[in-house]
Amino acid sequence: MSIISAGKGISKYNIHIVDKKLSKNLINKYLNKDSKILIVTDEGIPKKYLKFLKSNISNKSVNIFTLPKGEKSKSYNSYKKIINELSRLKFDRTDYLIAFGGGVVGDITGFVASTYLRGISYIQIPTSLLAQVDSSVGGKTAINIPQGKNLVGAFYNPKCVLISTRYLKTLSEDEYKSGLGEVIKYSFIGNKILKKLIEENPKEIIERKESTLKIVIEQSIKTKSKIVTKDEKESGIRAILNFGHTFGHAIEAYNKYK
Ligand code: GLY
């Protein structure tokens, strides 16, 4: 297992990367055992993954909130529904949210966590390559509004990020490639080790070999964590991480996030 840290001071957190299933020990490592838990996920996440996660959490109260799959779920409406669920479950500041899914799930769960009771704890368990190498790290949380993507949000760091390459096995080819786009981004913005790794191991990467993917993810996150720790709120160097995103976001907004 490799561990990389990001953030500063009390909002510093660890990112764990494994090339096998998450262990029970790791799943429970950052949870307070008496807390209530709400796992936020989406309909695209295979049920077996959700079942495994839920059955490995030792806390007594573990609930699940499932969003429809897709960017449209990163909305004010979904935000309200999750908030209503937290208040129905009587969540207080000692309780935890777990974002279990891709970037949409991570962004909206983080935003709910940043605002409910002025901030409760959340954990990121990203299941897409894009979320593993980019959106789960750095504390950017948000929802979309009709005027544009991510226009309402907060910088709010998770308690930890738990990454398993196992989740990548069932990703569609399109989703996998969109994550690889982010990996290539890190090689373009300065990670020479990653560039070499991609150039020398294309077959292993295309075939999703877990031990290679672990190194790819590790290198990507090393670059990202260095940048987001230096410039947490994007007043300078962090903007380099938007390399490619800015065009993508405009295209998504133009197509109404379909
Ligand atoms: N995805 C760009 C950033 O985290 O700053």
pLDDT mean values, one per 10 residues, the chain (258 residues): 96 98 98 98 98 98 98 97 98 98 98 98 98 98 93 98 98 96 95 97 97 98 98 96 86 82
Q: What pLDDT is attached to residue 1?
A: 86
Q: CA angle at residue 139 from 237 to 74, to 5 degrees?
A: 115
Atom of ligand 1 nearest to the CA of 234: 5
**Among 134, 150, 223, 233, which is best to mutate for testing ligand 1, by the most ligand atoms less than 8 A from CB?**
134
Q: Helix and strand tally (H, E) in the chain?
A: 10, 9
Residues of the chain above pLDDT 70, percent: 100
The reported pTM is 0.96
Q: How many residues does the chain have?
A: 258
Q: Are 120 and 140 in contact (CB under 8 A)?
A: no
Would you state the structure tokens that stand for residue 77, as one six-digit string? 């409406």
Q: Which residue has the tokens 């901030």?
A: 119
Which protein residue has the closest C-alpha to ligand 1 atom 5?
A: 241
Q: CA-CA distance, 171 to 46, in Å (whole number)?
A: 10
**Taking CB atoms and a 6 Å cutoff, what residues make up the pocket around ligand 1?**
134, 138, 140, 238, 241-242, 245
Would you state the structure tokens that stand for residue 167, as one six-digit string? 């989740």
User: 255 CA distance to ligand 1 centroid (A)?
Assistant: 21
Q: CA-CA distance, 197 to 190, in Å (whole number)?
A: 13
**Residues in CB range of 63: below 8 A, 6 or more apart:** 36, 37, 38, 39, 85, 89
Q: CA-CA distance, 253 to 258, in Å (whole number)?
A: 9
User: 151 CA distance to ligand 1 centroid (A)?
Assistant: 14
Q: What pLDDT is attached to residue 117?
A: 98
User: 42 CA distance to ligand 1 centroid (A)?
Assistant: 22
User: 238 CA distance to ligand 1 centroid (A)?
Assistant: 7
Report strand pairing: 62-67 vs 2-6: unpaired
Q: What pLDDT is attached to residue 155?
A: 98
**Among 135, 227, 230, 233, which is best to mutate for testing ligand 1, by the most ligand atoms less than 8 A from CB?**
135
**Residues in CB range of 166: below 8 A, 6 or more apart:** 19, 20, 21, 22, 210
Atom of ligand 1 nearest to the CA of 137: 4
**Among 129, 132, 140, which is best to mutate for testing ligand 1, by the most ligand atoms less than 8 A from CB?**
140
Q: What is the pLDDT of residues 212-255, one digit of tens each?
A: 999 999 999 999 999 999 999 999 999 999 998 888 888 888 88
Q: What pLDDT is attached to residue 11?
A: 96
Which protein residue has the closest C-alpha to ligand 1 atom 3?
A: 241
Q: What pLDDT is attached to residue 251?
A: 87
Query: What distance lies between CA 225 and its chain's CA centroid?
Result: 13
**Among 240, 242, 243, 252, which is best to mutate for testing ligand 1, by the most ligand atoms less than 8 A from CB?**
242
User: 240 CA distance to ligand 1 centroid (A)?
Assistant: 8
